[in-house]
Chain A
């Protein structure tokens, strides 16, 4: 069964450093998403991406965040200057048609980001 692949599985970074979280969506999917889950809290929507541009973003997704599809296969989330409160599990997801879950909306296994 096709998978969404995220790397690394765990990243530790110093506060103020830039990090890039990588995702390889399913190859025929067109819609891409990032979610995050702070330990013990809800899974929260960050951003959706289609046709090489952001289609929707949450209030969490401020100027320190950016997304990119640099080479037609990877989908990355960049955090420019990490803060302690960015420590969380980050999930990537992809969808074939953007109609949402249950229509081929697949999540990766997540990247645990720890900011120290």
Chain B
């Protein structure tokens, strides 16, 4: 079946550091891919998405490119802020429902 694997957390960075959170997937066909973010005490918010190979999703300085050849959708940000501290979930769309990765906690220190 379809699945999503993320790098283990927690990830701790200093402010303005470069961020990469790895995500790989196993799927039949070419599902849409997503990154969700969960800030402390809040729900899951869609951060960005890509619907086909080579698409790049971007939002709030975060980017991820749909790589069919490596079945990956790594999340990157050039300069993180303390306010980016949250849990990040990679997910794919399987017929209207989401298959999530296990989440990666990011902690950004000033």
Contact = CB atoms under 8 A, between A and B. Distances in A.
Interface of A: 4, 6, 31, 33, 35, 41-45, 48, 56, 91, 93, 95, 98-102, 105, 107-110
B43 A43 contact: no
Nearest to B41: A109
Given A33-B97, A42-B101, A107-B36, 18 more contacts: A31-B96, A35-B98, A35-B100, A43-B44, A43-B91, A43-B98, A43-B100, A43-B103, A48-B97, A56-B95, A100-B93, A101-B32, A101-B46, A101-B91, A101-B93, A102-B34, A107-B43, A110-B43
B51 interface: yes
Nearest to B99: A45
A91 B44 contact: yes
B98 A45 contact: yes
Interface string B30-51: 0010101000011111100101
Interface residues of B, number: 23
Contacts of A43: 44, 89, 91, 98, 100, 103
* A101, A108, A110 pick with most chain B CB within 10 angstroms: A101
Kindly list the 9 A-B residue pairs having the minimum CB-CB distance in the complex, ordered from nearest. Answer: A109-B43, A107-B44, A43-B100, A100-B93, A102-B49, A107-B43, A100-B96, A45-B97, A42-B102
Nearest to B34: A101
Interface of B: 32, 34, 36, 41-46, 49, 51, 89, 91, 93, 95-103
B96 A108 contact: no
A4 B46 contact: no
Nearest to A110: B43
Q: Which residue of B41, B42, B43 has the most chain A CB atoms within 10 A of its CB atom?
A: B43
A95 B96 contact: yes
